[in-house]
Structure 1
């Protein structure tokens, strides 16, 4: 049975506590250029930015890029399964659904809010990049932060959804990168 009464009670309390902050942040969508920026970031965060990056990495890093791209793709699939299972089990409504005064800046990809899948993926890929290609990670960090911010600005997530997504995704990315290094060292001892 999806969801639990304990989780429901917890999220009802959390929703009330985060509502004022969400409403305040959401007011920024009144400014059309800001709204357009976050809508674009959200759209690219649907996966398009990461798909393009995964395709480019083998060219940026000829020795390990193909393996890294494959690792990112497989870890991304694991992230998708993880957040979908959590959303189905925990069932937290999105802020714009629970509070009509919060504007929905762009249609969501799925029904529930916790955790933020966009942030989970962005943090995961960012962690992998910080451990494997730090210069590229610094270049992509502003995009990752914008993706996380877009979730609250567009009325799609509570801040706690974003924080949870970042923590889960960051941990998944870190563990994947550790696996990548250990597997690479076992297969190619002189590579690093």
Structure 2
């Protein structure tokens, strides 16, 4: 039996990180509310597709042009750092998505690319949460909860493993930190 046809007993003989990823994903997908949860998760996930980021930058500029300009510049620089790294890691590791490993994983949405590591939605949401928290501290809790929900939705939709999410968070934090350091803020 290969990893592609695993069951819970087979998972015990696999690398601990992979074992956790597989077990956690199955736990998220093999419950009686999975179909309903996927509908909510789809809406949350789509809020991280990028359109909202543009709207947030515009609103930030309208509310306070000086802070909004810095918010936009820092965000653009962070994304300029994040995207090439994301592309290199994703195409370097070529980690398959959960639904490709076993028919037990349901794919509730069609991902925008082929590979799963790291989660680009999570990296982008992390960048936005950090920027919002830094430039608009009163919105920090909302931004962090929103980014966390986007990350969780990617697992619940069957397109990412937990470790893909962790890698996305790390990439988002590193990209934002470097962008702020370059900008001297």
TM-score range, shorter chain: 0.7 to 0.9
Question: How far did 1:29 drift?
Answer: 8.0
Change in CA separation of 1:95 and 1:178 when aligned onto 2, cut-off 3 Å? same
Question: How far did 1:28 drift?
Answer: 5.2
**Residue 81 of structure 2: aligned partner:** 78
TM-score, length of structure 1 as denominator length: 0.80
**Residue 40 of structure 2: aligned partner:** 37
Correspondence for 2:132 among 118, 125, 129 = 129
Q: Secondary structure at the match of 1:46?
A: coil
What is the Cα-based RMSD across aligned positions, in Å? 2.0
Is 2:130–2:173's contact at 8 Å kept on the other side of the alignment? Answer: yes
TM-score, length of structure 2 as denominator length: 0.83
Quote the Cα distance in structure 2 between the aligned partners of 1:23 and 1:55: 40
Matches within 5 A, 1:102-141: 102-141=105-144
**Does 2:163 align with 1:160?**
yes
The gaps in structure 1 that reach 5 residues or longer are 1-11, 184-192
Q: Secondary structure at the match of 1:64?
A: helix
**Does 2:62 align with 1:53?**
no
Quote the Cα distance in structure 1 between the aligned partners of 2:57 and 2:32: 31
The gaps in structure 2 that reach 5 residues or longer are 1-13
